[in-house]
Structure 1
């Protein structure tokens, strides 16, 4: 695990902190589509992403989901941090978008390291800032973009974080994450195809540069 830590976090954390994370952290390899965190559960550890992509979702009172943002290599989740520090139940769902490798850090170490390591404190504050910006973009997208623009942004974001212009999502899955209906997504995808921005296939969508 120390190799993964140094490869991804040596430019951020002090050597002593890397050693502590190596001692108390738990290394996990997660398959695509695995639920890492569920709404209503207490959080006992915080993830540090070594590789892969994790999507963070919110759920309304009807059980419909909304994609908030993606976590990538080197990231952590501000929502997780808030729940950990406040010892409250999770308000988000986290699902691996790709095969993912991560290191789970025990909650009780977070506050200790905030006081002990400048690099950890800086990392946590930067993570809050980045996730807040992600949330602002999501809110702006809902408030100011038309659904076809939101859909295209969603496809581009997904292609960027997975480094793959082929999106292996069904129309229904996309509808869930954009909080709309499958019929609307299918119609808008066809519109984007006619505009030359995507190609539609039976089991995947290809984004055209």
Structure 2
């Protein structure tokens, strides 16, 4: 489906809404296009719209007072932002930032429409809270990984996932540290150990996977 004018049909929960509610979403929404590497929200800002992502990817990350960063989750096409949902429901400001990793198209509905539908449409309310519940569960899993799982296991797993089946990952030590919620120096030491074992080779801005089997065996500890 490519007709963004009928974007509600891209979201299974919204496509089951009654015709008047669908029409309200379509007539009151605005399709916005945002370039890559744009901060679309940040700490201290209050959301004025609920965003439904149609194309692209948005990275949501937390930044501490000391500048330490950790990726909380990513929003893909066909998803909404749980942090925006939480802020809209609580009339609160953002505590994290959202940055576009690719060019993004999204449907934006005003806060007033969101409020009216949450209070007046059970199917819409069910859609909002189902997405909210799933993302909260994902966040608890991430907290468990950061707090309790070995970094070498998590790093091996992240390299394999980022590779997408290829033999090379375009990334940096800093980006990996943000992904895994640790210091860049810690990532550097662990990558050096992987390289010493002959599992990877490093170059500026990239990591080559030389022994995917060994990395996969280590990553499989995530599931054990």
Aligned to 2:183: 181
Deviating 4+ runs (over 6 angstroms): none
Aligned to 2:5: 2
Residue by residue, what CA displacement relative to the aligned partner does 1:162-192 show, whole Å, maximum 9, x if unpaired?
A: x988643321122234332323212323444
- Give the whole-Å Cα distance in 2 for the aligned partners of 1:11 and 1:79: 19
Q: How does 1:151-166 map to 2 (within 5 A)?
A: 151-156=155-160, 158=162
Residue by residue, what CA displacement relative to the aligned partner does 1:78-108 show, whole Å, maximum 9, x if unpaired?
A: 2211111222111111111222221112111
- Give the whole-Å Cα distance in 2 for the aligned partners of 1:77 and 1:68: 11
Contact 2:14 2:127 survives alignment (8 Å): yes
Shift of 1:133: 1.0
Say which of 137, 146, 156 aligns to 1:133: 137
Contact 1:2 1:18 survives alignment (8 Å): no
2:83 is aligned with 1:79? yes
Q: How does 1:10-25 map to 2 (within 5 A)?
A: 12-13=14-15, 14=17, 15-25=19-29
Q: Which has the larger radius of gyration?
A: 2
Pair 205,135 (structure 1): closer, same or farther in 2 beyond 3 Å: same
Gapped regions of structure 1 (runs ≥ 5): none
Aligned to 1:60: 64
Q: What do you get for the CA RMSD once the two structures are aligned? A: 2.7
Q: Report the count of equivalent residues.
A: 206
TM-score of the superposed pair, with normalisation by structure 2:
0.78
Say which of 147, 169, 172 aligns to 1:170: 172
2:37 is aligned with 1:38? no
- Most deviating of 62-71 and 192-201: 192-201
TM-score of the superposed pair, with normalisation by structure 1:
0.83
- Most deviating of 176-185 and 133-142: 176-185
Say which of 128, 149, 154 aligns to 1:150: 154
Gapped regions of structure 2 (runs ≥ 5): 217-224
- Most deviating of 186-195 and 141-150: 186-195
Pair 17,153 (structure 1): closer, same or farther in 2 beyond 3 Å: farther
- Give the whole-Å Cα distance in 1 for the aligned partners of 2:35 and 2:169: 17
